[in-house]
Amino acid sequence: MSEIPTDLVDSLLREPSPVVVGHVTPDADCLAAMLALKLGIEHATGRPVRCALPPGSVSQKLAFMLELAPVEVAGADQCRSAERLVVCDTAKRTRMNLPDSLQKDESLPWFIINIDHHASNTMFGRINWVDPDAGSTSELIHRLFVRAEWNITPVVATLLYAGIASDTVGFSLSNTTADTLAAAAGLVRHGADVAFVGDRLWRHRTQNEFELQRIIYDNTRLVASGRIALSTASYEEIVRTGCSAADVDDQVEIPRSLAGAEIVLLFTEGVKGQTRINLRSKSDVGVLELAASLGGGGHFAAAGAVLKMPVSQALEKVLPLAEKYLKKL
């Protein structure tokens, strides 16, 4: 368990109008960390905190989190003028979920507070609290609330519990530690609605999301003598379901469910001509090195990358690399 930087809490409270940011296509852990941190800072300072969430950022599945904690969205001008950005669950600066006009602008002199648990984090902040041993960034935010003695309301508890439960896939992965379970138990004691979170994360699909899952199931197959499980969804297939790039996340669990696969790959073209690759491993093989070779990052057993090419080309490029990677190991 890494120590919280001594100046972190003071730095979070010093800026009169900080902007909280997550990564592109935020998952449940990212959103939970952002929203809980926003509520914590607001309660401690009495000042409003904005979040950077460009249009189309949040999936249909995770919209309930914004219903729990409505946000005032920071536009491009507000992000540009902010002195301080608090960045959650984001491995590198270029992955920050900012308005398009700021997405690749690395010249802006922000004071960045970087809170994350990705092993591939590039330490891009002025203050970096990165703990790869934490099961989720939400677990870190819970630790921060306890250290700062901030009020953990039932809403905060429910958000952080959702983030922790999601990133551990219901406390079923190897990133579930005793500290993870202790944090979850503490959040339940503070009023986290376990049944509500379970329903929204795993038993609540719109027809559009269900149709997208159907496509992922139909396109799932085993290759490399069963050692690699993969699936795909082209831009046309995703659009046809009424979904978008924001709705692609935990569908990687579909090919991951196949017995015998050591590496799992999900290729999705949520943006035309751009393929997102979700990588997972089910053994001690690891996928971080493979993701890094594609310009991506993440964790030892869960990583990702983005290639500027359609799904068919990405599959042709990545599958031979994955097979070679397995042979090398």
Question: What pLDDT digit, counting tens, does each position of 207-249 carry?
Answer: 999 999 999 999 999 999 999 999 999 999 999 999 998 888 8
Residue 129's φ and ψ, nearest 5 degrees, are: -120, 95
The confidence score (pLDDT) of residue 144 equals 97
For residue 273, pLDDT over 90 is answered with yes
- 3, burial (CB in 10 Å: exposed 0-12, middle 13-18, buried 19+): exposed
Reply yes or no on whether the pLDDT at 16 is more than 90: no
- DSSP labels, 195-219: HHHHHHHHS---HHHHHHHHHHHHH
Q: Looking at the predicted structure, is the pLDDT value of residue 153 above 90? A: yes
Mean pLDDT of the chain: 93
Residue 159 has pLDDT above 80, yes or no: yes
Predicted pLDDT of residue 100: 82
Q: How confident is the model at residue 68 (pLDDT cuts 50, 70, 90)?
A: very high
With H, G, I as helix, E, B as strand and everything else as coil, classify residue 131.
Answer: coil
- Vertex 192 angle, CA 121 and 118, to 5°: 5
Q: Which residues contact 109 (CB under 8 A, 6 or more apart)?
A: none
Encoded tokens for 12: 């979070």
Q: What pLDDT does residue 284 have? A: 81
Task: With a cut of 80, say whether residue 287 has pLDDT above it.
Answer: yes
Residue 86's nearest CA partner among 135, 41, 118, 46 is 41
* Predicted pLDDT at 205: 87
From the list 73, 124, 60, the residue with the least C-alpha distance to 95 is 124
Cα separation, 321 vs 302, in Å, equals 17
Q: How do strand 274-281 and strand 263-271 relate by DSSP bridges?
A: antiparallel
Task: Summarize the confidence of residues 299-309 as an average pLDDT.
Answer: 93
